[in-house]
Structure 1
Amino acid sequence: MARRLRSVDLDFVESAPVRLVFAADVSAPPDTVYRALADDVEGWPGWFTQVTAALPLDGGAGRDVRLRGGIAFRETVVATDPGERYAYRVDRTNAPGMQALLEEWRLTPAGTGTRVQWTFAADGSALFRFTLRRARGAVGRSFRDAVRNLDRRLSAAAA
């Protein structure tokens, strides 16, 4: 059953006990990437293969997200800076050992495209923190694959 996590603010992205930070470039401009992240929540499974379902809640103020393997998140959006940043914290989850999670997507112009930086800021039991640190490579691959898929999706939509 889903458990309530510790409520964290946006500054948790800098102070979390475990911070995984990844970056990759896409050819679409920041405003287009932002719309894919914040406005097309239901489209996430089409490019982020770990996501099996994503539904916006409360007019975009929250999200319900399901991942492969049965992990579920109820999230609150904590930052919506169009073309620059999209961030959300997890309020409830069935993931074992997790105590707090905030994800931030930063978008910066990179030539005619966008540099996408994703920070996965988390806290949890000692075993959770250890496991997450050991999974850095797999999480990074998942992010890079997702951004590559998003780039293809946005390029096809623009054509």
Structure 2
Amino acid sequence: MARRLRPVGPDFVEEAPVRLVFARVIAADPESVYRALAEDTAGWPDWFSAVTSARAVDDGAGREIRLRGGTRFRETVVAANGPEVYAYRVDVTNAPGVRALVEEWRLTPVGAGTRVRWTFAAAGPAPFRLVLRLARGGLGRAFRDAMRGLERRLVKG
């Protein structure tokens, strides 16, 4: 059953009760990484294995995402400051427990590459917050795998 979440803005990334932050340097320039994140929505399943389907909606102002396991998100882009920041909030999802969720991708040039920092900021009841904290390791692995996939895609392309 899809549920509407609390609408929050990009500042929620700093205020959320649960903030999981992951970072990795990849050998691709920030502009290319930003384009892959913000402009090539349909390409996400090619490098982020948890994503089975991704498409831009509302002329790029939103996204519809499906994950392995059946979780679905309808998102609104809340920051598109290329090539430094790309962020979106989840408006509707079938994931249990979550009340608000924003994901932020922050890109910083590092030598010939880019430091990619992904912040997963969420709010929900105590059991949800506990489960999310316990899932940190799995989310970290998914992020590392996604960054390896994105790097392969951008460096060869």
TM range (shorter): over 0.9
Q: 1:17 corresponds to which letter in structure 2? A: P
**What residue number does 1:24 align with?**
24
- What pairs with 1:30-69 in structure 2 (closer than 5 Å)? 30-69=30-69
TM-score normalized by structure 1?
0.98
Where does the alignment leave 5 or more consecutive residues of structure 1 unmatched? none
Question: Runs (4+) of structure 1 moved beyond 4 Å?
Answer: none
SS in 2 for 1:142: helix
| Whole-angstrom CA distance in 1 between matches of 2:144 and 2:110 | 17
| Whole-angstrom CA distance in 2 between matches of 1:4 and 1:126 | 19
- What pairs with 1:95-106 in structure 2 (closer than 5 Å)? 95-106=95-106
User: Residues 97-139 of structure 1: CA distance to partner in whole angstroms, max 9, x if unpaired?
Assistant: 0100000000000101100000000011211110000111111
Q: 2:147 corresponds to which letter in structure 1? A: V
- What pairs with 1:139-158 in structure 2 (closer than 5 Å)? 139-157=139-157
Query: How many residue pairs are counted as aligned between the two chains?
Result: 157
**What residue number does 2:7 align with?**
7
CA RMSD of aligned residues (A): 0.5
Where does the alignment leave 5 or more consecutive residues of structure 2 unmatched? none
Q: 1:150 corresponds to which letter in structure 2? A: L
TM-score normalized by structure 2?
0.99
- Per-residue deviation, 1:11: 0.7
